[in-house]
Amino acid sequence: MQLTVASGKGGVGKSSITASLAYLLSKSRKIVALDADADTPNLEILLNVENWKEKRPFEGERVAVIDPKKCTGCGICALHCPYECIYPESGYYRVNEILCEGCNVCSIVCPHEDVISFKPTVPGYVKWGITSYGFPLVTAELLPGRPNSGKLVFEAKKRAKQFERDLLLIDAAAGIGCSVIASLNGSDYVLVVVEPTEVSLFDAERLLKIVNHFGLKAVAVINKFDVNRDFSERLESHFEEKGIKVVGKIPYDRSVVEALIRGKPVVEEYPGSPFSKALERVVQSLEELL
Amino acid sequence: MIISVSGGKGGTGKSTVSTNLAILLKEFTLVDLDVEAPNDHILLNVNLSEGIPVKLFKPKFNHEYCTGCGKCAEVCNDNAIVLNREGKPILLEDLCAGCTACKLICPERGAIEDDFKVVGHIYENKTPYGFKLITGELLEGEERTYKVLLETKKRALKEGGNLIFDTAAGAGNSIFKALEGSDIVVAVTEPTPFGARDLEKILYTTSYLRLKTVIVINKSGVGDEEEILSLSERYGCPIVGRIPYSEEIIKCYFSKTPIVNTDLPEAKVFYEIKERILEEVKCS
């Protein structure tokens, strides 16, 4: 069983909600959590992994290298590079190794032999550890500026599935790009987190197009619903019309930031808070679905 | 002049800062490079219209001219080309990154022709505030964020003049590409452990790119700023403004009223941020 938390828009509460969901769901099921926000993974701050049991480099990637002694400075490689990451540098050309995705274009168009070669590179890591709540957390961690977060997320998912738990709970990245698509793939349910703003709805709609495209099932949760009740009501009827069940409405609650600062899931640190009560109802609804 | 607005974490207020800065700076074109979730047009009450398609190369194989040498499949770093029983290529379109390596290596004339698929759109619209908005938008279901961003940025640079780049959440290669060449990067963050941790990734990237970077703390007052202060010191990036957490700002967001066009005391903060940014660019 795979449940993926996504939103399109960033900063709407995916990680706070995922951490609390993981805490509550782990009481009744065997779960593994996956932080698939490879650019900026933060779930570990809330789920408290003391020791990473394993940190495996993401291998198989490579970058082009231009030999400055042999390069004649013709610049044909730079003209053809689809990533536009080759730059002139005092008489020769240099590959920006951070941006290079390792395609063969520069080496094919280079008129000389042996000027351009490839070397292996590590754009990120897949790591895992046991959280202080007893279940494992797998994290995809991309190094700053590097490409291929989608492939990295696929690797991390493979690792997470090896735990053979009943439920794989994924915290996806913001956006709707390759890493989010990699996260959504194989979901039994996608939990779409949305705030009552036009911006959040716009991004959620874009996400839902992909969810539908893959034939996945989505449910929604409205976060901070009470900051704009009118819009929240519109959201509810909008989702209902589309056949998307709203499994929860979470009020704005200062304890979310407080718990974040203390590095704990809200439901553990402030069990009686409005956020926690709403989350418990979300879990009840999810349990019925799952 | 190019001002880029970034920050790492999502929802810290990048678009709020970008749109308000654009209104204050007047002679700038705002460029929404958050191509997976472009939102500036919503905050500015602009309908995106007449998109220019972003086309990504894909090979069209003509098997009649193909000798079955298999070089195209060999050279494809994305494993997007498989060979059929006669050794002739078939494209797995979803895997193709459009790099053109197959076409470049093919020794047979006419065996691989240019084809393309549309992966996104670029929109150019006038805003009600006078300045121009250029928006890059990735097509839903497509994965080539970098390509759409690259083409949107190139189009903006071609038009020239002063630009504000609003970037996406995250810190991967497309953010790196967005920030490249900026005169100043404005990193918008929030005083939480998430905000600080993601900010560091952006500061790491901009220090690698040797870009002048300043920090804006949004939702100031909700948490502890200590970590952000120490990052500011460590990377030599001054804090140029603190936007308070305020109900009024949230109301502006809902009603799509730019804060700088109100009489709210919060508007003053944006004026100060604008002045500080211009000063910092002048100093460098």
- Over residues A131-188, the pLDDT tens digits come to 999 999 999 999 999 988 899 999 999 999 999 999 999 999 999 999 999 999 999 9
Let me know whether A139 and A110 are in one domain: no
Q: How many CB atoms lie within 10 A of CB B193?
A: 18
Strands (E) in chain A, as ranges, are: 2-6, 31-35, 49-57, 61-66, 86-89, 92-95, 116-121, 124-131, 136-142, 167-171, 189-194, 218-223, 245-250
**pLDDT tens profile A27-48:** 999 999 999 999 999 999 999 9
**pLDDT tens profile B118-137:** 999 999 999 999 999 999 99
Please identify, among A79, A97, A121, the residue that sits at the C-terminal boundary of a domain. A121
The answer to whether B218 faces chain A, any CB pair under 8 Å, is no
Shortest distance between the Cα of A133 and any Cα of chain B, in A, equals 20
Please identify, among A81, A96, A121, the residue that sits at the C-terminal boundary of a domain. A121
| pLDDT tier, A290 (very low <50, low <70, confident <90, very high otherwise) | confident
Q: How far from each other are the two terminal CA atoms of chain B, in whole angstroms?
A: 12
> Structure pTM?
0.96
Let me know whether A155 and A258 are in one domain: yes
Q: What percent of chain A has pLDDT over 90?
A: 97
Let me know whether A80 and A138 are in one domain: no
Give the pLDDT confidence score for residue A34 in this predicted structure. 98
Let me know whether A132 and A117 are in one domain: no
| pLDDT tier, B175 (very low <50, low <70, confident <90, very high otherwise) | very high
For the record, the structure tokens of B75 come out as: 């050279």
Mean pLDDT estimate for chain B:
96
| pLDDT tier, B8 (very low <50, low <70, confident <90, very high otherwise) | very high
- CB pairs A-B closer than 8 Å: 180
Q: How far, in Å, are A21, A194, A226, B217 from residue A256 at the CA level?
A: 13, 16, 15, 19
Let me know whether A51 and A76 are in one domain: no
Q: Is the pLDDT of residue B284 over 80?
A: no
Select from B45, B72, B189, B194 the residue whose CB has the most chain A CBs within 10 Å, as the one to mutate to test that interface: B194
Select from B99, B119, B155 the residue whose CB has the most chain A CBs within 10 Å, as the one to mutate to test that interface: B99
Q: Is the pLDDT of residue B283 over 90?
A: no
**Quick one: average pLDDT of B272-279?**
97
Give the whole-angstrom CA distance, residue A268 versus residue A130. 17
Please say whether the beta carbons of A140 and A35 come within 8 A: yes
Q: Is the pLDDT of residue B73 over 90?
A: yes
| 110-139 in chain A: CB under 8 A from chain B | none
**Quick one: average pLDDT of A61-76?**
96
The stretches of A123-197 forming alpha helices (DSSP H) are: 149-161, 178-184
Please identify, among A82, A104, A121, the residue that sits at the C-terminal boundary of a domain. A121
Q: How far, in Å, are A4, A87, A270, A275 from residue A132 at the CA level?
A: 22, 48, 17, 22
Give the pLDDT confidence score for residue A148 in this predicted structure. 82
**pLDDT tens profile A202-238:** 999 999 999 999 999 999 999 999 999 999 999 999 9
Backbone angles phi, psi at B276, to 5 degrees: -60, -40
Select from B16, B33, B36, B123 the residue whose CB has the most chain A CBs within 10 Å, as the one to mutate to test that interface: B36
Considering CB atoms only, which of B104, B194, B223 is closest to A108?
B104
User: Are B176 and A102 inside 8 Å of each other by CB?
Assistant: no
User: Are B205 and A257 inside 8 Å of each other by CB?
Assistant: no
The stretches of B237-264 forming alpha helices (DSSP H) are: 247-255
The answer to whether B193 faces chain A, any CB pair under 8 Å, is yes
| pLDDT tier, B162 (very low <50, low <70, confident <90, very high otherwise) | very high
| 233-252 in chain B: CB under 8 A from chain A | 250
- Total domains in chain A come to 2
Give the whole-angstrom CA distance, residue B61 versus residue B114. 9
Give the whole-angstrom CA distance, residue B54 versus residue B56. 7
**Reduced to 3 states, what is the DSSP secondary structure of residue A192?**
strand
Shortest distance between the Cα of B39 and any Cα of chain A, in A, equals 6
**pLDDT tens profile B230-273:** 999 999 999 999 999 888 888 888 888 999 999 998 999 999 99
Q: Could you give the residue range(s) of every CATH 3.30.70.20 domain in chain B?
A: 55-118
User: What CATH number did the domain enclosing A85 receive?
Assistant: 3.30.70.20
Give the whole-angstrom CA distance, residue B34 versus residue B37. 6
* Chain A residues inside the 8 Å CB shell of B170: 10, 37, 39-40, 173-175
Give the pLDDT confidence score for residue B27 in this predicted structure. 92
Q: For domain B55-118, give the fold.
A: Alpha-Beta Plaits (3.30.70)
The stretches of B81-143 forming alpha helices (DSSP H) are: 101-105
Helix (H) or strand (E) segment spanning residue B12: none
Please say whether the beta carbons of A115 and A108 come within 8 A: no
Give the whole-angstrom CA distance, residue A241 versus residue A235. 10
Let me know whether A117 and A171 are in one domain: no
User: What CATH number did the domain enclosing A240 receive?
Assistant: 3.40.50.300
Let me know whether A180 and A42 are in one domain: yes
Helix (H) or strand (E) segment spanning residue A277: helix A274-289
Give the whole-angstrom CA distance, residue A273 versus residue B31. 41
Q: Could you give the residue range(s) of every CATH 3.40.50.300 domain in chain B?
A: 2-44+127-283
Give the pLDDT confidence score for residue B251 in this predicted structure. 85
Let me know whether A197 and A281 are in one domain: yes
Please say whether the beta carbons of A78 and A115 come within 8 A: no
Give the structural domain span for A130.
2-59+124-289
The answer to whether B43 faces chain A, any CB pair under 8 Å, is yes
Question: Residue B220's beta-bridge partner residues?
Answer: B244
**pLDDT tens profile B147-161:** 999 999 999 999 999
Q: Is the pLDDT of residue B3 over 80?
A: yes
Give the pLDDT confidence score for residue B246 in this predicted structure. 86
Mark residue A210 as left, alpha or beta (left: phi above 0; alpha: psi -120 to 50; beta: remaining): alpha
For the record, the structure tokens of B121 come out as: 């759109």
Let me know whether A69 and A150 are in one domain: no
Give the whole-angstrom CA distance, residue A92 versus residue A100. 17
Q: What is the ipTM of this complex?
A: 0.94
Give the pLDDT confidence score for residue A162 in this predicted structure. 97
**Quick one: average pLDDT of B16-26?**
96
**pLDDT tens profile A79-122:** 999 999 999 999 999 999 999 999 999 999 999 999 999 999 99
Of A256, A253, A265, give the one whose Cα is nearest residue A46. Answer: A265
Query: Among all residues of chain B, which has the CA nearest to that of A263?
Result: B193
Query: Among all residues of chain B, which has the CA nearest to that of A228?
Result: B254
| pLDDT tier, A74 (very low <50, low <70, confident <90, very high otherwise) | very high
| pLDDT tier, B50 (very low <50, low <70, confident <90, very high otherwise) | confident
CATH number of B2-44+127-283: 3.40.50.300
